[in-house]
Amino acid sequence: MAKPPIYLTTPIYYVNDKPHIGHAYTSLATDVLARFKRLDGHEVFFLTGTDEHGQKVEKAAQEAGEDPQAFTDRVSQAFRDLTVTMGFSNDDFIRTTEARHKAACVALWQVLAERGEIYLGDYEGWYAVRDEAFYGPDELTERDGVRYAPSGAPVEWVREPSYFFRLSKWLPELLRRYDLPEGHPERIDIQPESRRNEIRAFIQQGLKDFADRPEKLDLSVSRTSFTWGVKVPGDPAHVMYVWLDALTNYITAVGYPDTHHPRWKFWPADVHFVGKDIVRFHTIYWPAFLMAAGIAPPRRVFAHGWWTNEGQKISKSLGNVIDPVALVAEYGLDPVRYFLLREVPFGQDGDFSRKALVNRLNGELADALGNLANRTLSLIQRNCEGRLPADAARSVEDAALFASVDGVVDTLRKHLDQQHFHSALEAIFASVREANAYITRQAPWALRKTDPARMAAVLRHLHTALRCYATALQPFMPGTMAALLDQLGVPRDARHFAALDDPLPEGTPLPPPSPLFRKIELPA
């Protein structure tokens, strides 16, 4: 039976600055899940791109002495280049300055207006240009006469005519959908659980505070104080609120407003991957816009944590922003990809440490996996004429190895369906450790003289284990695992999970092995 299509998205990245480690991290998680689902037989659509409108971009372009379109063209390209540097397998790269996206925004606005979900009024409140968001007085702090949003951005009092979206109308329905049981088709799943609790509490407090005036919870969705954005249809003095514009990208890319488009089968999105700073927009505003327009909301929003650098908060003023391009140049692409998802449970904050990266590279990748592969394949070269031994029956001595190997793919499905990337990697490397213990116990180099048939069986079992690890680790380290699968003699069309049930034929020629990972010495 055909497996359902899968739609995975990164946030579209704001083009007021160049890419950093946070952008690479979010996209990497999305890429790994996309690659995994493809190997597991799903048709996948993986979207990333750039968010290019709004007051903040207009201001950054002015400071750079550029026209906003020229500025966004230049900075957007840096994000497109990052997808190549990091080996991401995205199926589309969307820009909000594209004609297809502007058409989708206009169409969504018109549907919302026709349904009575948008009305014209006046707005005043505390506004943070950096966040493109308004904040309530109780959310602000004050230092030296300046008020600041929870994000640390300064706010100013703004009053202007504005169109409003009837957000208050949809808040009870959002709470209902958050609380539906797992697997319910209408459930909006927010992960990790701490973010779900945070969003629920935020809505409940708002409904309580404004029970007598629910319109206070409605959302301003247009601006007249700047011009860099999508014009409101029928009222060009207004541009659409940047978040209404930006969030619409997720349906633009699958064909909206053409719901007969071949890509529309992917909607609703299975997972929107976001940073925790934008979870409110994706779990409150976005599903409310969609439900108001008669469109199904996304199934899940997963908000990951933030990185620090060697224990320090990352900031441009401290000069400790981590450049993912430089990191890949120094340590190699696949070790960086591996480390970012291995070191910290996805959803929690984590600290980036070069020492920790090198320890993972040297210990788990080079010593555990790389050494296991080199020892096994070298023994096959020397003792089996470089050809794969026959598939052999399993003995009692092999039970512990296969107890860990046979369940690897099912374990990965369980963990990756919950976006528990570190747990998936830990499960694989627990099996790698068992395989290293197995080769030491069985000592195939000694069996050549005492029991050559058993030696061949042991080497075949180790090859089977390595094939499983290499196949399962492809989403995390695609380049290195392709090299390992080449060394294992696995054909290109047999590198998906279902193919693991088909043993390679006896006598398959194997090329001489070569090291998979380069160990790095830490400075004294």
User: Can you give the pLDDT at residue 524?
Assistant: 63
Domains within the chain, CATH numbers bracketed: 6-305 (3.40.50.620), 354-501 (1.10.730.10)
Listed as ranges, residues in the chain with pLDDT below 70 are 315-317, 524
User: Can you give the pLDDT at residue 159?
Assistant: 83
Do the Cβ atoms of 219 and 70 come closer than 8 Å? no
pLDDT digits (tens, 9 = 90+) for 392-437: 999 999 999 999 999 999 999 999 999 999 999 999 999 999 999 9
Question: The dihedral of CA 202, 203, 205, 210: what is its sign?
Answer: positive
Tokens at residue 207, please?
């409904």
pLDDT digits (tens, 9 = 90+) for 300-323: 999 998 888 888 787 666 777 788
Taking the C-alpha atoms of residue 237 and residue 223, their distance in angstroms, rounded to an integer, is: 8
Tokens at residue 401, please?
């190895």
User: Can you give the pLDDT at residue 17?
Assistant: 75
Q: Which amino acid is at 438?
A: Y
User: Can you give the pLDDT at residue 320?
Assistant: 75
Taking the C-alpha atoms of residue 54 and residue 14, their distance in angstroms, rounded to an integer, is: 10
Dihedral, 423, 425, 431, 435 alpha carbons, nearest 10: -160
Bridging pattern class, strands 219-220 and 156-165: antiparallel
User: Can you give the pLDDT at residue 107?
Assistant: 98
Taking the C-alpha atoms of residue 162 and residue 119, their distance in angstroms, rounded to an integer, is: 9
